[in-house]
Amino acid sequence: MTRTESNQIHWIVVCVNEFAKYKGLEVHDAFMYLYQFGGISFLVEHYDAEHTLSFNEAVEDLDVICTNKGGSL
């Protein structure tokens, strides 16, 4: 695993944890929701831009992405 991949994984884990806090969910449930409604894919695909934002902004983006794909938290 490259250092970039390791950094990306760490950042995604933090985003999932922050999303869980934001929505009042267990981390596992937050991950499953994000996975099901495209949030994880979004983070991977747009890492280069998203990781330059605050975690609050990234979490808000995740909320919009998942809602637009049928999520309803």
* Tens-digit pLDDT profile for residues 15-63: 999 999 999 999 999 999 999 999 999 999 999 999 999 999 999 999 9
Residue 73: band (very low, low, confident or very high) from pLDDT cuts 50, 70, 90: confident
pLDDT of residue 70 exceeding 90: yes
pTM: 0.93
**66: region left, alpha or beta (phi > 0 left; psi from -120 to 50 alpha):** alpha
| Residue-level pLDDT at 59 | 97
What integer pLDDT is reported at residue 21 of this predicted model? 98
| DSSP-assigned states of every residue in 29-48 | HHHHHHHHTTHHHHHHHTHH
Tokens of 22: 């934001």
